[in-house]
Amino acid sequence: MIKKLYIKSNPRVKEEWLNLLMQEGIREESTLEETYGYYNDADELIATASRYQNVIKCVAVDATHQGGSLFNEIISHVMNQNVQEGYFKHYVYTKHGCKKGFEYLGFHEIESVDHTLVFMEKAITGFDAFIKNLESINQNKPNTAAIVMNANPFTLGHQFLLEKAASESSFVYVFVLSEEMSAFKAAQRIELVRQGTSHLDNVKVLPTENYMVSSATFPSYFLKEDDDVTFVQARLDARVFAHHIAPALNITKRYVGSEPFSNATNLYNEALQAEFKGKRDLEIIDRIGNDESIISATKVRSLLAEGNLEAVQKFVPKTTYAFFESDEGKQVIASLKGAL
C-alpha cells in the first residue's frame, strides 16, 4: 500500500524513511514537497519516492524487493501526483544504475556526467522541442554569447555584465532560471531582465524552463558524501549547455560573474571552464560595487526585507526600482519581510 509520508511532522515515520534511504546509500534531501512510501503487509516501509514540483527525488527500494514492480508503482504514483498538481513533464536526476528502470517508464536521457549522474525527462513536448524552438529563433550571428542568471532580482551588477557582453558580442542570449524558489516569481524576474536590457538591441531574454537549475533545487541525494555537489551540477550544466543549447544558437562564449566571497561560485566557474575547454569560451567578469559594498541580489533582498527601500536605489536599475514601488512589487517586499 502506498501512503503519503509526513516526514516533517511525524518523527517515527521520518526515522523509517531515513533508515530506508541510508540502507540504500541515499542521503536525505531538504527540498521536498511531498514524500510517499510503500508499506508491505507487515507494515514495513520498503519503497519511497519524493517530489519537488515536477522533479522526482529520494527514490529508494529495499534491496530485498528490487527487480520487481515496486519501483514502477512508487514512481508512477509520484508522477500521478505531479499531474494532479498541474505538471505534465517529469524530471529525475539519478545514478546510472537506476537509468534502465526509468527508461522502462518512458524517461529519456537528456545528459549525463560520467558514471555519477544521469538527467532524464518524461514529456510529450520536452527537451527536443525546447532545442527546436531555440533553433527557430537563432539569429545566425557570428561571435554570439550567452549568460545564465537567476536575477533574483535584476541588479546593476546583472546589467553591467549584460552591457559588457553586448558591447563585445554580435548577439547575446540571456537565460533566466525558470524555477519558482523565491518571493520573486519567474515571470517577474524575466520581465525585470527584459526591462533592464531594453536599451540593448542585440540582447534576447529567454527562460531556462526545466533544463538548468540552481544549487537550491539540484538533487544530491544519490551522490556519495565525498562528491562535491556544486562541481557535479556545474559539469551537468556545462554539458547541457555545450552539447545542446550552444549549438542550437551558435553560441561561442558564455559570460559569468565572479563571486570573491563564494567558494561555491568559484568552484562552479572552474567546472564550467574544464567542460568548455576547446569547445566554448568562458569569460569571468569581476563583480562591480558601489560606495557601500559589492552589488548583489542577496544584498538587495536583505535591504528589502529590512524595509530599507531607499538604500536599494544604489543597487538596482530604475526599472527594477519602479517595480518595487508598484503594487506587485510591494507584495514581494511584504513576503520578504514575512520570511525574516
pLDDT digits (tens, 9 = 90+) for 293-318: 788 898 999 999 999 999 999 999 99
Instruction: Choose the final residue of a domain: 61, 89, 117.
Output: 89
pLDDT over 70 percentage in the chain: 96
CB 32 within 8 A of CB 39: no
pLDDT of residue 171 exceeding 70, the answer is yes
Mean pLDDT of 334-338: 88
Confidence band of 221 (pLDDT split at 50, 70, 90): confident
CB proximity list for 120: less than 8 A, separation 6 or greater: 91, 92, 93, 94, 99, 102, 103, 107, 108, 109, 110
Domain membership flag for residue 254 = yes
Arithmetic mean of pLDDT, 141-145: 94
> Do 74 and 180 lie in a common domain?
no
Report the CATH number at residue 153: 3.40.50.620
Same domain, 163 and 246: yes
Q: Is residue 315 classed exposed, middle or buried when 0-12, 13-18 and 19+ CB atoms within 10 A define those classes?
A: buried
Q: Is residue 108 situated within a structural domain?
A: no
What pTM was estimated for this model as a whole? 0.89
* CA proximity to 204, closest of 150, 127, 146: 146
Q: Is-contact 99 106, C-beta < 8 A?
A: no
How does the average pLDDT of the chain come out, rounded?
Answer: 91
Whether pLDDT at 215 is above 80: no
Residues 37 and 133 in one domain: no
**pLDDT at site 31:** 86
From 45-49, 68-72, 125-129, the region with the lowest mean pLDDT: 68-72
Q: Quick check: is 329 in a domain?
A: yes
pLDDT given at position 183: 87
Q: Is the pLDDT of residue 158 over 80?
A: yes
Alpha-carbon dihedral 268, 319, 133, 57, rounded to 10 degrees: 50
Instruction: Tell me how far apart the alpha carbons of residues 49 and 34 are, in angstroms, rounded to a whole number.
Output: 9
Output 296 or 159, whichever has higher pLDDT: 159
Last residue of a domain, one of 58, 89, 120: 89
State residue 81's pLDDT score.
Answer: 96
Pairing type for strands 90-94 and 117-122 reads antiparallel
Residue 111 forms part of a structural domain: no
Which one-letter DSSP state was computed for residue 277? T
Residue 226: per-residue pLDDT: 52
Residue 66 maps to a domain: yes
Lowest mean pLDDT among 10-24, 204-218, 308-322: 204-218
pLDDT tens for 94-123 read 988 889 999 999 999 999 998 889 999 999
Are residues 68 and 135 both part of a single domain?
A: no
What is the CA 225 to chain-centroid distance, rounded?
21
Residue 291 predicted with pLDDT over 70: no
Given 37, 70, 89, which residue is the final one in a domain? 89
Does one domain contain both 74 and 204? no
Name the range with the highest mean pLDDT among 152-161, 176-185, 223-232: 152-161
Q: What is the pLDDT of residues 316-325, one digit of tens each?
A: 999 999 999 9
Structural domain contains residue 95: no
What count of other Cβ atoms lies within 10 Å of the Cβ of residue 92? Answer: 25
Residue 261 has a pLDDT of 66
User: Does 105 reside within a domain?
Assistant: no
Instruction: Find, among 334, 146, 338, the residue nearest to 242 by Cα.
Output: 146
Average pLDDT over residues 26-30: 86
| Assigned domain for 104 exists | no
Q: Which helix (H) or strand (E) holds 225?
A: none
Same domain, 47 and 160: no
Q: How many domains does the chain have?
A: 2
Domain enclosing residue 76, as ranges: 2-89
Q: Does residue 232 sit in the same domain as residue 300?
A: yes
In angstroms, the Cα distances linking 66 to 37, 59, 69, 98 are 15, 12, 8, 11
Strands in 108-113's sheet, in edge-to-edge order, are: 2-4, 34-39, 45-52, 55-61, 90-94, 117-122, 108-113
CATH of the domain at 20: 3.40.630.30
Asked whether residue 85 falls in the same domain as residue 162, the answer is: no
Note the pLDDT of residue 227: 59
- State whether 138 and 273 are in the same domain: yes
18, 65, 78 from 40: Cα distances, Å = 17, 10, 18
Are 180 and 260 in the same domain? yes
Residue 37 C-alpha cell reads as 512510501
Containing H/E element for 259?
none
Residue 154 and residue 221 in one domain: yes
Selection from 247, 213, 244 nearest residue 229 by Cα: 213
Q: Are residues 150 and 258 in the same domain?
A: yes
